[in-house]
């Protein structure tokens, strides 16, 4: 078999990178579960008619067919899911009678999109979603909840560059555009959403030409979009624009509540900002909307987005409102791996390499290792009874910090920290590495092993 090559858009991680990714995924899942979100997993496939309901994503879907498909129907109607929201909405409808509402779930899974691959855009990638869904009603406080949960989770990933969760509210902007008398509110939103791609003057021109605003109205719309604040001072700034509308009032109150009630989770690494130009495209969001920027990686766009849907799912009789946020794990991590060498500081989970004096001692060394494992210490026994110097280098190459030497002539075992050279006698039923050494550390030094694709 010739040497295989990578597939563009399908990133794979080397062991030290994968250990880092796995730590991130475990931290996310643990944090979501601390907040009572149940782990959910849906099948990878959905009926094509479900996947194509919104039309716009149609060309991104991977369709499945069995190689020896005979029947014309068969699996011709299945495709890989391109997000975790469509499958979740379907799962809720399918199992509504067996779920307790409000239903909180987290879902960490691969999704697939047949897009043209580029840095930060992959054909296979992992997302981590949290959502709360209600039956008929879902009180606003869940909007605050999902923001708090995601901020808590992101705050624990302390190796990341600084993050800003940008929040806005559809009611606020729709109410404002109504309040200024815009003839087509959706069109105004669509044009204002171009502010991160077009110069302000061009947007102003389009607001007049395409959205039918007067110059004064366009100025007001741009005035609103220019407002951002890390506390509820934005309310006074909006009020100063002199526009009144009941929906605007509702949106202002909700957005102020999100920002205020997340304040205790803010740090210099994880911030929350009310940013009144955020609209989340023309999706079906109906209240709070979220986007997230990573400092130094603004070109990635939003790495963590979501919002409130008044109808996440509906079977005609019952409507299920929801609010959620989706973190693009691959999209966040792979660029950091490629550009900053983000990876774990070891290639194996082992904290200890048990050295092997000679092959006959393997059984005894296995027993020592098993005693360490019984107390939760990951370890491995040397693969071959080489000279101890070689075994230490074996550990070094893998980033294993400790080498364990079985006692000779009835003497005690000894353990060596191969970073410091410090060596001391140790009992396999009692010795414990410092907690910081128990699991690999995530580093961003460029001396770590090569980048992924």
Residue 290 DSSP code: E
The footprint of its own copies on residues 432-451 (CB under 8 A) is 449-450
Structure tokens of 340? 């900053």
Provide the CA 376 distance to its chain's centre, in angstroms: 28
Among 63, 185, 195, 208, binds its own copies (CB under 8 A): 63
Residue 443 contacts residue 347 (beta carbons within 8 Å): no
Neighbours of 383 (CB within 10 A): 10
Binding flag, residue 76, its own copies (CB under 8 A): no
**Closest CB to its own copies among 278 and 440?**
440
Binding flag, residue 7, its own copies (CB under 8 A): yes
Binding flag, residue 33, its own copies (CB under 8 A): yes
Instruction: Give whole-number Cα distances, 253 to 84, 146, 257, in Å.
Output: 30, 17, 6
Interaction pattern, residues 132-171, with its own copies; x per rule: CB under 8 A:
-------x-x------x---x-------------------
**Residue span binding its own copies (CB under 8 A) among the ranges 96-104, 188-196, 267-275, 285-293:** 96-104
Collapsed DSSP state (helix, strand, coil) of residue 94: helix
Binding flag, residue 361, its own copies (CB under 8 A): no
Interaction pattern, residues 251-270, with its own copies; x per rule: CB under 8 A:
----------x--x------
**Closest CB to its own copies among 196 and 363?**
363
Among 28, 81, 91, 211, binds its own copies (CB under 8 A): 91
Residue with token string 């992101």: 154
**Closest CB to its own copies among 219 and 406?**
406
**Closest CB to its own copies among 240 and 383?**
383
Binding flag, residue 173, its own copies (CB under 8 A): no
Binding flag, residue 81, its own copies (CB under 8 A): no
Q: How far apart are CA 78 and CA 6, in angstroms?
A: 26
Among 27, 83, 121, 124, binds its own copies (CB under 8 A): 124
The footprint of its own copies on residues 218-247 (CB under 8 A) is none
Report the length, in residues, of the chain: 453
Structure tokens of 350? 């082992």
The footprint of its own copies on residues 294-323 (CB under 8 A) is 313-316
Radius of gyration of the chain (CA): 27
Instruction: State in angstroms the smallest separation of the CB of 185 from its own copies.
Output: 26
- Exposed / middle / buried, residue 114 (Cβ in 10 Å: 0-12, 13-18, 19+): middle
Supply φ then ψ for residue 360, to 5 degrees.
-65, -20
Q: How far apart are CA 74 and CA 439, in angstroms?
A: 47
Among 28, 84, 112, 206, binds its own copies (CB under 8 A): 112
**Closest CB to its own copies among 157 and 182?**
157
Q: How far apart are CA 214 and CA 204, in angstroms?
A: 10
Among 131, 245, 380, 437, binds its own copies (CB under 8 A): 380
In order, the DSSP letters of 110-126 are: EEE--PPPBTTB-SEEE
Collapsed DSSP state (helix, strand, coil) of residue 422: coil
Compute how many residues bind its own copies; rule: CB under 8 A. Answer: 96
The footprint of its own copies on residues 37-56 (CB under 8 A) is 37-45, 47-48, 50, 52
Instruction: State in angstroms the smallest separation of the CB of 373 from its own copies.
Output: 4
- If residue 365 lies in a helix (H) or strand (E), which one and from where to where? helix 362-374
Residue 138 CB partners (closer than 8 Å, separation 6+): 102, 132, 321, 322, 323
Instruction: State in angstroms the smallest separation of the CB of 31 from its own copies.
Output: 8
Instruction: State in angstroms the smallest separation of the CB of 421 from its own copies.
Output: 22
Binding flag, residue 347, its own copies (CB under 8 A): yes
Residue 441 contacts residue 449 (beta carbons within 8 Å): no
Among 100, 136, 358, 360, binds its own copies (CB under 8 A): 100
């Amino acid at each position: 078999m010739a040497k295989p090559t990578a597939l563009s858009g399908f990133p794979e991680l080397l062991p030290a990178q994968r250990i880092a990714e796995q730590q991130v995924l475990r931290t996310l899942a643990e944090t979501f579960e601390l907040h009572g979100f149940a782990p959910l997993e849906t099948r990878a496939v959905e009926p094509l008619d479900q996947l194509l309901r919104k039309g716009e994503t149609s060309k991104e879907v991977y369709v499945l067919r069995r190689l020896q498909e005979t029947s014309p129907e068969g699996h011709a109607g299945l495709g890989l899911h391109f997000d975790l929201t469509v499958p979740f909405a379907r799962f809720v409808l399918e199992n509504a009678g067996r779920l307790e509402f409000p239903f909180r779930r987290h879902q960490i899974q691969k999704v697939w999109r047949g897009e043209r691959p580029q840095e930060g855009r992959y054909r296979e990638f992992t997302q981590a979603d949290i959502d709360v869904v209600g039956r008929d009603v879902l009180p606003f406080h869940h909007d605050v909840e999902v923001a708090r949960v995601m901020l808590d989770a992101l705050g624990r990933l302390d190796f990341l560059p600084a993050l800003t969760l940008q929040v806005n509210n559809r009611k606020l902007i729709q109410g404002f555009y109504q309040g200024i008398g815009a003839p087509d509110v959706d069109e105004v939103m669509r044009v204002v959403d171009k502010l991160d791609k077009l110069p302000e003057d061009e947007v102003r021109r389009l607001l007049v030409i395409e959205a039918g605003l007067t110059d004064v109205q366009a100025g007001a719309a741009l005035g609103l979009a220019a407002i951002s604040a890390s506390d509820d001072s934005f309310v006074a700034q909006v009020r100063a624009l002199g526009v009144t509308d009941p929906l605007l009032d509702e949106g202002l109150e909700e957005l102020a509540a999100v920002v205020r009630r997340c304040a205790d989770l803010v740090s210099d690494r994880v911030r929350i900002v009310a940013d009144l130009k955020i609209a989340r495209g023309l999706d079906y969001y109906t209240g709070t909307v979220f986007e997230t920027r990573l400092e130094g990686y603004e070109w990635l766009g939003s790495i963590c987005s979501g919002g409130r849907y008044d109808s996440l799912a509906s079977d005609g009789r019952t409507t299920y409102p929801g609010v959620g946020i989706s973190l693009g794990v691959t999209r966040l991590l792979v660029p950091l791996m490629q550009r900053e060498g983000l990876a774990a500081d070891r290639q194996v989970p082992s904290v200890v390499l048990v050295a092997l004096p000679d092959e006959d001692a393997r059984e005894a060394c296995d027993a020592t290792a098993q005693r360490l494992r019984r107390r939760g210490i990951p370890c491995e026994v040397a693969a071959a009874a080489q000279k101890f110097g070689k075994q230490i280098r074996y550990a070094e190459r893998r980033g294993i910090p400790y080498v364990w030497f079985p006692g000779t002539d009835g003497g005690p075992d000894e353990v060596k920290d191969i970073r410091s050279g410090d060596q001391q006698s140790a009992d396999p039923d009692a010795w414990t590495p410092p907690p910081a050494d128990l699991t690999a550390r995530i580093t961003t030094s460029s001396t770590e092993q090569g980048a992924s694709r």
